[in-house]
């Protein structure tokens, strides 16, 4: 018999995701209708066109960013964030086109404002209500599955704990099966699990065996094909020091990222908007300071006001980073000597502007250019990157995001000279922690922390 291989089958779209698509259409259109009715009461063809275009843009961006996946067991906050971003993008595109290209078709400002906020509240509001309703049903025992785990090791224990702690998943955990003796009680051996599955009563089997048990896993999958249980393979990715692991599909072939950036899709949009808004505001506020420092650098030593140094940016691509010149020399080659306390290379104001981080203020221009972010791992000299990448495991993973003017390591005291390997290792530890836990609120926390304790540090000189 010829077997046609077309890749792994995608799961059927759930009724919930289909219902959400329909509800989004209803919400966007009805919100515009109510806004028009409340302000003027005159619905026109232009209003119909606006509603259709808004729905098309929202659904298009939503499909690209996986808004309509099954959110069972996933973060409600993340779903609401996605819905908010896609409505903001949709409304922005429509409003900008109305302003610049079709001003004669633009509805009243009151209608546009009311439509935006009513849709935003409704799109998020019904998602919250739907989540609570589904959670209630699953806790009451509706739409649940009887689940067992093959493998009572750390991976299986971790998976089972998630099921037990989250009854809204609708997964009734019955127990573990394993051939080896473990700390956890089991329902029997893997052979016993196969017999139990063939007898019925088990809806799902999660195979959580270590990667080295390849032969056993293949045997299990072959034997479980003679049962009606759904079988899921749980890859043991926790053996790696993962950085934003997530699943993906390449032409039907499932893949799992071990090292990836958190700034993808809607997160990249949020991060860029954050950088643009904050950098413009900060540059406007500090412009007198920039002028004064520039004059001080110019009249206290010979040389350019701004020093451009080569750094690694996102994905390890070379960038030029701006700094007020603080030294008589401008080292930018294969050998860069870090500044030390009372360094003879300092200009008359060099040590002061370095210690207070004022030399880094021109980097807000790098942020506007898109080379850097306000918050991220501090960019190191290229020579230092080449030195430490072979000494510290995971060093280059800090380049999965744009380098920043300030960062999690800096406000925790790990800045300035890294004269020992331990100091650099600690800085990298905080950098990777930042990347793993990135969020808009984490960035704001770091920015606020920088204002109070990030500018001056005993280790900075």
pLDDT in tens, the chain (461 residues): 333 444 443 444 467 788 899 999 999 999 999 999 888 778 888 889 999 999 999 999 888 887 887 776 677 888 899 899 999 989 988 888 887 777 776 778 888 899 999 999 999 999 999 888 887 877 776 767 889 999 998 889 989 998 888 877 778 899 999 998 888 999 999 999 999 999 888 989 999 998 888 899 999 999 998 888 889 988 877 666 677 667 666 666 777 777 788 887 778 888 999 999 999 999 999 999 999 999 998 888 888 888 888 888 888 888 999 999 888 765 555 555 555 565 667 788 888 888 788 888 999 999 999 999 999 999 887 887 888 888 888 888 888 999 999 999 988 887 766 668 888 889 999 999 999 889 888 999 999 998 877 555 555 54
Contact in structure between 252 and 6 (CB atoms under 8 Å)? yes
- Taking the C-alpha atoms of residue 410 and residue 460, their distance in angstroms, rounded to an integer, is 10
Q: What's residue 84's pLDDT?
A: 93
* Residues forming a β-bridge with 307: 323
- Taking the C-alpha atoms of residue 144 and residue 159, their distance in angstroms, rounded to an integer, is 17
- Determine how β-strand 253-256 pairs with β-strand 247-250: antiparallel
Burial of 24 (0-12, 13-18, 19+ CB in 10 A): buried
For residue 205, CA distances in Å to 13, 164, 166, 397 come to 21, 15, 18, 35
Burial of 431 (0-12, 13-18, 19+ CB in 10 A): buried
For residue 457, CA distances in Å to 86, 338, 346 come to 41, 16, 18
- For 347, other C-beta atoms within 10 Å of its C-beta total 20
Q: What's residue 350's pLDDT?
A: 81
Q: What's residue 10's pLDDT?
A: 40
Q: What's the distance, Cα to Cα, between the start and end of the chain in Å?
A: 74
Domains of the chain: 15-139 (no CATH), 145-239 (3.40.50.720), 266-453 (no CATH)
Burial of 389 (0-12, 13-18, 19+ CB in 10 A): middle
């Amino acid at each position: 018999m010829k077997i046609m291989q077309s890749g792994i089958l995608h799961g059927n779209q759930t009724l919930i995701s289909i219902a959400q698509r329909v509800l989004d259409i209803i919400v966007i259109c009805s919100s515009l209708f109510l806004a028009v009715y409340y302000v003027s009461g005159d619905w026109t063809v232009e209003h119909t066109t606006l509603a259709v275009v808004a729905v098309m843009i929202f659904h298009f961006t939503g499909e690209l960013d996986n808004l309509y996946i099954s959110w069972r067991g996933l973060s409600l906050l993340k779903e609401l964030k996605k819905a908010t971003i896609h409505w903001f993008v949709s409304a922005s595109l429509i409003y900008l086109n109305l302003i610049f290209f079709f001003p004669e078709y633009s509805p009243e400002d009151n209608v546009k404002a009311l439509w935006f906020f009513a849709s935003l509240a409704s799109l998020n509001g019904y998602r919250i209500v739907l989540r609570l309703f589904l959670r209630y049903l699953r806790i009451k025992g509706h739409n649940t599955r009887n689940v067992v785990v093959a493998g009572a090791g750390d991976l299986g224990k971790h998976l089972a704990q998630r099921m037990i702690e989250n009854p809204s998943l609708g997964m009734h955990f019955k127990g573990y099966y394993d051939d080896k003796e473990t700390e956890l009680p089991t329902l029997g051996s893997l052979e016993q699990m196969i017999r139990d599955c063939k007898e019925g009563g088990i809806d799902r089997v999660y195979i959580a065996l270590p990667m080295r048990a390849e032969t056993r896993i293949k045997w299990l999958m072959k034997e479980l094909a003679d049962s009606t249980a759904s079988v899921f393979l749980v890859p043991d990715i926790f053996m790696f020091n993962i950085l934003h692991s997530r699943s993906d599909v390449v032409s039907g072939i499932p893949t799992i990222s071990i090292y990836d950036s958190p700034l993808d899709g809607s997160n990249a949009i949020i991060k860029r908007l954050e950088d643009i808004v904050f950098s413009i505001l900060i540059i406007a506020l500090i412009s007198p300071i920039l002028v004064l420092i520039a004059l001080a650098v110019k009249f206290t030593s010979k040389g350019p006001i701004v020093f451009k140094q080569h750094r690694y940016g996102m994905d390890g691509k070379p960038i030029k980073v701006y700094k007020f010149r603080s030294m008589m020399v401008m080292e930018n080659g294969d050998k860069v000597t870090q500044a030390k306390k009372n360094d003879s290379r300092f200009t008359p104001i060099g040590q002061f502007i370095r210690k207070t981080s004022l030399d880094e203020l021109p980097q807000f221009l790098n942020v506007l250019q898109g080379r850097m972010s306000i918050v991220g791992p501090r960019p190191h000299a290229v020579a230092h990157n080449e030195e430490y990448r072979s000494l510290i495991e995971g060093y280059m993973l800090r380049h999965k995001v744009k380098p920043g003017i300030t960062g999690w390591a800096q406000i925790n005291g790990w800045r300035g000279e890294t004269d020992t390997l331990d100091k650099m290792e600690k800085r990298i530890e905080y950098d990777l922690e930042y990347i793993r836990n990135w969020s808009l609120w984490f960035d704001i926390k770091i920015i606020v922390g920088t204002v109070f304790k990030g500018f001056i540090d005993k280790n900075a000189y």
